[in-house]
Structure 1
Amino acid sequence: MKKLTAIFMSAVMCFLFAGCSNETAQSSDGQASSDSVSSAVVEVPKPDGFKVDGTKLIDGYGEEFVMRGVNHAYTWFKSDTDTALEGIEYIGSNTVRLVLSDGDQWDKVSRAELKSLIRKCKKKNLIAVLEIHDGAGKDEVSYLEHAVDYWIEMKDLLNENKAYAIVNIANEWYGTYNDLETWRDAYINAVKKLRDAGIENTLIVDSAGWGQCADSVLKYGNEILKADKDANTMFAVHMYGTAGKNEETVKNTIDTAIKNNLCLLIGEFGWKHSDGNVAYDTIMQYSTEKNIGYLAWSWKGNGDDVSYLDVSRDWAGVDLTTEWGKPLVEGEYGIKKTSKTCSVYTKYASDDTSSDDEAAE
């Protein structure tokens, strides 16, 4: 009898434990319990490339992205770039605009160099805006064409990184304020050629007049945009003593670009320049209010006659300049308070773990 009782109790206990185990695995409606769901790993897909949507730049996860950062002259300060990128990240930037060269005036940046630069930016959660500087202030169309050829040569690398890198076709190409139709037509051809070659990145077109002729963009920007079969082109005005000379001028440029449904970037600006003082406080405040990106010129290394444009006295960004670096970084509408890391970094961990020391391929 005792033996039969023991067997019966053992069977009951097994039944009870089996029931508890089953309840733990499933809820009454057959769905997995909250504990099971919370332990599941949700895979986030890789981000798509940047896209222009009217006045907005949309990142690879569909979120609006507003650039905040500085320019760094890689072409002239290659050995200081690692430290500079650390400093640019340190001050809170979400973007860095990098001076490159296609060989017209300075040594051509190789594919291996460009690959390493993009990788370094990714590791520091920085979006890379890549620009060819050789044609700055030039009116000859050949300089723009050479820049286009350079980007086409780098097509595969650019497309692989379209979620992290934006192509600023040519820095300040077309130095004059006259015959803006030449500027327009050249960029229409440039955009078409880049797209026909298969480049998928967002493109940036700089204004004429050394980047300060905002009228070129405001008048002809939509014609250039229509030439882009991907409709993925934005426009940059560089604001110094002409385009950024006062509050009225700054606000008019931004308001008109928005009215014309153009995606605008203040690609460069300073607190003063050889052509006059700059309403930099208005640029920062109004850009923040209107969700316009701004990238200051420049981190460090400006010549003695324009050294006042240095954001930092050291490459690491520890010693910011008083009149430019500190208000830019620490001001109410400065980088630290208005910069937000792109969601392609906060939502997805890149699997690019290859070495930065690759010198050739």
Structure 2
Amino acid sequence: MKSRRTFGVLVAAGLAGALGTALAVQPATADEPDASAVGLRVEDGRLVESNGNDFVMRGANHPHAWYTGELGALGDIKSLGGNTVRVVLSSGHQWERTSNQQVSQIVSECKANRLICVLEVHDTTGYGEAGAAVSLDQAADYWLSIQDELAGEENYVIVNIGNEPFGNSGYEAWTADTQAAIGKLRNAGFEHTIMVDAPNWGQDWTGTMRANAQSVYNADPTGNTIFSIHMYGVYNTAAAVEDYLTSFVNAGLPILVGEFGHNHSDGDPDEDAIMAVTERLGLGYLGWSWSGNGGGVEYLDMTVNFDPNQLTEWGERFFNGPNGVAATSEEATIYN
């Protein structure tokens, strides 16, 4: 299935302190998290805070890279109950580079609004099929270039290496490329929780991420990686949603729904099932997207022109409906 990017969903103009002694670690298994992980981390297949509190992400995606003047959206998402925001960044390969100063500002704004901040590089979208997309290795280089802005923010920031890093061509390289990108960040000293997206425009209809998740998880010496599936037309039944998510839970591997919508050009996702199943399993979800969609899929906007007082039908469903953000979101305890 093709991602909304294929149809032009967005039109772009264009802690903790250092450890006293370095610890030699072996790859962790899902049952054996590494004690050297700091801040947000994975334990027993679940995302937890530094105090061990189970943290379940609830929030929206915000298209910062294309709308840099709308940073107030973070506070608006918080006002509707969100505990997390996933923020679109650009490495500069497809769109204007999100600068170090902008990254610092985004993190500060997240913290000021008591949000957990998932940062993602969007330039990888559909690599192998989309001609302008770049590799996970190139995305990792961008993360290294902004490392100083993220150092010490492990309690607040999750590093989503690259959005939908393969399309429907060349996705067989997803496993090795993801392992290598994780290794590059860990070797450079990143201690943050790392989030990795599925191939096939994020939807993993080939089962590539599902089949190789354990080996990717084991490649992280801190055992601090979480998997993200994007649910659109491939997930048009409750059975499809249930089957995919429970396969990770049963394997003891951490997963969330990093993007989903109520409708899509490749089919009609079952948003009610996505929200109900994630709530029942205690898994995170982040809806696409706050505002600014184009190319015929403006229906994915949650608000009209970034106005939190003008929720669309999708926004009303997402924030205030059954199993929605307002009813299920709990603020990270780091802000207590």
Given candidates 218, 227, 234, the residue that maps to 2:210 is 218
CA distance in 2, matches of 1:143, 1:256: 28
Corresponding residue for residue 196 of structure 1: 187
1:70 aligns with 2:60: yes
Corresponding residue for residue 92 of structure 1: 81
Aligned 1:315-334 pairs, distance under 5 A: 315-322=306-313, 324-334=314-324
Matched positions, count: 296
Corresponding residue for residue 187 of structure 1: 178
Structure 2 unaligned blocks of 5 or more? 1-36
Give 1:48 deviation, angstroms.
Answer: 4.5
Give 1:138 deviation, angstroms.
Answer: 1.2
1:279 and 1:134, CA in 2 relative to 1: closer, same or farther beyond 3 A? same
1:111 aligns with 2:100: yes
CA distance in 2, matches of 1:321, 1:125: 25
Corresponding residue for residue 18 of structure 1: none
CA distance in 1, matches of 2:74, 2:171: 36
Residue-by-residue CA offset, 1:106-132 (whole Å, 9 max, x unaligned):
111111110010000000011000000
Kept in 2, the 8 Å contact 1:87–1:318? The answer is: no
Q: Which residue identity does 1:110 align to in structure 2?
A: S
Corresponding residue for residue 273 of structure 1: 264
CA distance in 2, matches of 1:109, 1:225: 28
Residue-by-residue CA offset, 1:255-311 (whole Å, 9 max, x unaligned):
101112110010000001000101000000110000110000000000050000001
Residue-by-residue CA offset, 1:139-198 (whole Å, 9 max, x unaligned):
28952111101111222322311100000000001101x654411011111111110110
Q: Which residue identity does 1:203 align to in structure 2?
A: I
Kept in 2, the 8 Å contact 1:48–1:61? The answer is: no
Kept in 1, the 8 Å contact 2:118–2:159? The answer is: yes
TM-score for the superposition, normalised by structure 1: 0.79
CA distance in 1, matches of 2:38, 2:334: 9
Given candidates 247, 250, 254, the residue that maps to 1:259 is 250
Corresponding residue for residue 307 of structure 1: 298
RMSD in angstroms over aligned alpha carbons? 1.5
Q: Which residue identity does 2:220 align to in structure 1?
A: D
CA distance in 1, matches of 2:246, 2:319: 25
Corresponding residue for residue 19 of structure 2: none
CA distance in 2, matches of 1:105, 1:54: 37
Corresponding residue for residue 155 of structure 2: 163
Kept in 2, the 8 Å contact 1:269–1:280? The answer is: yes
Q: Which residue identity does 1:216 align to in structure 2?
A: T
Kept in 1, the 8 Å contact 2:161–2:196? The answer is: yes
CA distance in 2, matches of 1:156, 1:252: 40
Matched residue of 2:173: which SS? Answer: helix
Higher relative CO (Cα under 8 Å, sequence separation at least 6) belongs to 2
Kept in 2, the 8 Å contact 1:241–1:274? The answer is: yes
CA distance in 2, matches of 1:270, 1:233: 24
Corresponding residue for residue 24 of structure 1: none
Matched residue of 2:123: which SS? Answer: coil
Corresponding residue for residue 91 of structure 2: 102
Q: Which residue identity does 1:119 align to in structure 2?
A: S
The alignment-based identity, stated in percent, is 38
1:145 aligns with 2:137: yes
CA distance in 2, matches of 1:264, 1:159: 24
CA distance in 1, matches of 2:49, 2:151: 14
Structure 1 unaligned blocks of 5 or more? 1-46, 347-361
Corresponding residue for residue 44 of structure 2: 54
Matched residue of 2:50: which SS? Answer: coil
Q: Which residue identity does 2:161 align to in structure 1?
A: I
Kept in 1, the 8 Å contact 2:137–2:180? The answer is: no
Corresponding residue for residue 6 of structure 2: none
Q: Which residue identity does 1:330 align to in structure 2?
A: N
| Structure with greater Cα Rg | 1
